Structure 1
Amino acid sequence: MDVYDAVRSLIVLGTYPAGRPVTELELCERLGVSRTPVREALRRLEGDGLVRAARRGVTVVELDAKALRDAYLVRASLEALTAELAARRQRDGELSPASVARLVEHADLADQATRRGDLVAGARHNRAFHQYVAALADNPAASEVLDRIWDQITVSTRASLTAPVRPALVDDEHRRLIEAVTNGDPERAAAHAREHVLATMSVLAEQGGET
C-alpha cells in the first residue's frame, strides 16, 4: 500500500475522523516515511475533498448539510448510470452468471451483517455491493468519481452510524436492483438505483442510517 492509500484508509476507516487535524509529522511517524510522500498524499486527498489545508497540516473535511445533500444527488445520478450500464451489459450477454451471483452474495453479506447488528461490517459490505454494480458497468470514469463521493459521504456520516431503521427496506431495494440487472432491464435498474440512494439520503437527513 502506498502512502496515499495508507492515509486515505486512515481517514475513511475512521482513525482520523471528520474535523480531526492531522500534521505531516504525525503521519510520517505513524507510517515510517519521509515528509515528501506524505505531503504529496495530502495534496491528492485535498483534491479528493477529504482534507483541507489548515494552519498546521490539514483537517479532515466534514461536509455540511448542503454539501452532503449535493454529494448524495451526484451519487444518485452516477449509481443510476452504472446500474443502467450493468443491465445493458447483462442484456447484451456480456456478464457471466458468476458475476451476477457475486452481486447477490454482496447483498447477502450486507443484509446479514446489518441484521446481526454489526454496523461496521454492514457498512463495508453495503459499499462493496454498490462498488460491484459499478464494476459490472465497466465504466472506470464513473467508478472513480463514485469512489470519491462514497469516501466523502462515509467520512461525513460516520458519527451518525446507528442501527438502520429500515434494514428490510434497504435489502428489498438491493434485491429490486439485482432483479433489474439480472433481467437486463436498464430503465428499471437505473430507476431502482436512483430511488435507493435518494431514500437513503432522506432517512439520513432525519436520523442517520445505512448508506
Structure 2
Amino acid sequence: METTYDRVRELIVGGAFPPGQRLTELDLSQRLDVSRTPVREALRRLESDGLVESGQRGVTVIRLSDAELREAYLVRASLEALTAELAAQRQQAGEIAPAALARLTGHADDADRATRAGDLIAGVRHNREFHRHVAVLAGNSLAIGFLDRVWDRILVSTRDSLAAPSRTGQVDDEHRRLVGAITAGDGPTAAALARDHVLSTLSALPGGTSR
C-alpha cells in the first residue's frame, strides 16, 4: 500500500516540485486528499532523506550546489562499483538466475530506446532501473537503500542530465560493457566499469568534473 511519504517522494523525485519550491502541509494535504498529520510525518522523513530542508521559508525541495552534486556522484560511483563487483561475484558463483541477469539487458535496451527516441522522462526512469537492478543482483539490501537515497538527491537536481542525449551512444556502450563484465563474472572489471561510467556522467554535466 502506497503511503503519504511514498506519494510526496514520487512527486518530488518525479519533478512535480522543482528544486527550491516551498511545500506546505495544507497544499499537500489538499492535493493528496489526506490529513495534515501524515503529510507532516512524510516531510520529516523526507528531510532526513535529504530531499527537503527546513529554513526561514519553511520546508523547501533541496537544491544541490555544484559541490554537493559532485559529492553525491562520487558516493554513487563508489557504491555502484561495489554493487557491480558483488553482482559479478554472485554470477561467478552461480547465484544469479539467468532470467534475473537477462532483465539487466532488458533495462539497458529500454534505456537506450527511450533516450534515442527523445523521451527523456522514460530514459531517466529506465536508466535508473538498469543501475538499480545491478544492485539487486548484488544481493546487498543496505547498498540498495543508500543508492536509492543518493539517486533521489541527484534526480531532483538533474532530472534531464542523466539521459544525456549528447552522449547516448557512449552511455549505451558503457551499459553493455558493464553487462558483459557481470555476465562473465569478472568482479574487478565490473567495478572499474561501473565507477568510470558514473564519473563519465558527472563529467558530462555542465561544469562537471570527475576529479
TM-score class, shorter-chain normalisation, is over 0.9
Partners of 1:76 and 1:106 in 2: CA distance? 19
**Distance apart, 1:11 and its partner CA:** 0.2
* Matched AA of 1:140: S
Identity of aligned residues (%): 63
Letter in 1 for 2:81: A
- Tell me if 1:44 matches 2:45: yes
Match of 1:113?
114
2:90 maps to what in 1?
Answer: 89
In structure 2, distance between residues paired with 1:81 and 1:161: 20
Which residue of the partner structure matches residue 60 of structure 2? 59
Aligned to 2:146: 145
Q: Distance in 2 between matches of 1:56 and 1:109?
A: 40
- Equivalent residues in 2 for 1:8-27 (5 A)? 8-27=9-28
SS in 2 for 1:166: helix
Distance in 1 of aligned mates of 2:100 and 2:155: 26
Is the contact between residue 117 and residue 163 of structure 1 (CA under 8 Å) also seen in structure 2?
Answer: no
Give the letter for the 1:177 counterpart. Answer: L
User: Aligned pair in 2 of structure 1 residues 37, 56: CA closer, same or farther (>3 Å)?
Assistant: farther
- Output aligned runs, 1:46-195, within 5 Å: 46-55=47-56, 57-158=58-159, 164-195=165-196
Describe the SS at the equivalent of 1:58.
strand
Provide the residue aligned with 1:7 in structure 2: 8
Instruction: Count matched residues.
Output: 207
- 1:35 corresponds to which residue? 36
Cα deviation, 1:2-29, whole Å, max 9, x if unaligned, reads 0000000010001111111010100110
2:206 counterpart SS class: helix
Q: Residues 83 and 137 of structure 1 are in contact (CA less than 8 Å); yes or no, is this contact kept in structure 2?
A: yes
Q: Which amino acid aligns with 2:53?
A: R
Q: Distance in 1 between matches of 2:9 and 2:31?
A: 13
**Structure 1 Cα separation of the partners of residues 57 and 199 of structure 2:** 37
**Offset, 1:156:** 0.6
Note if contact 1:21-1:57 (Cα within 8 Å) is conserved in structure 2: yes
Query: Which structure 1 segments of 5+ residues have no match?
Result: none
Partners of 1:30 and 1:10 in 2: CA distance: 11
1:165 aligned counterpart, secondary structure: helix
Q: Deviation of residue 55 (structure 1)?
A: 3.7
Task: State the distance in 2 between where 1:49 and 1:155 align.
Answer: 11
How far 1:159 sits from its partner (Å)?
Answer: 6.3
- Residues 162/197 of structure 1: CA separation in 2 closer, same or farther (3 Å cut): closer
**DSSP-derived class of the 2:103 partner:** helix
Gaps in structure 2 of 5+ consecutive residues = none
For residues 189 and 118 of structure 1, do their structure 2 counterparts lie closer, same or farther at Cα, with a shift above 3 Å needed?
A: same
Report deviation, 1:206.
4.0
Q: Which amino acid aligns with 1:167?
A: T
Q: Judging changes above 3 Å, is the alpha-carbon distance between structure 1 residues 98 and 160 closer, same or farther for their aligned structure 2 residues? A: closer
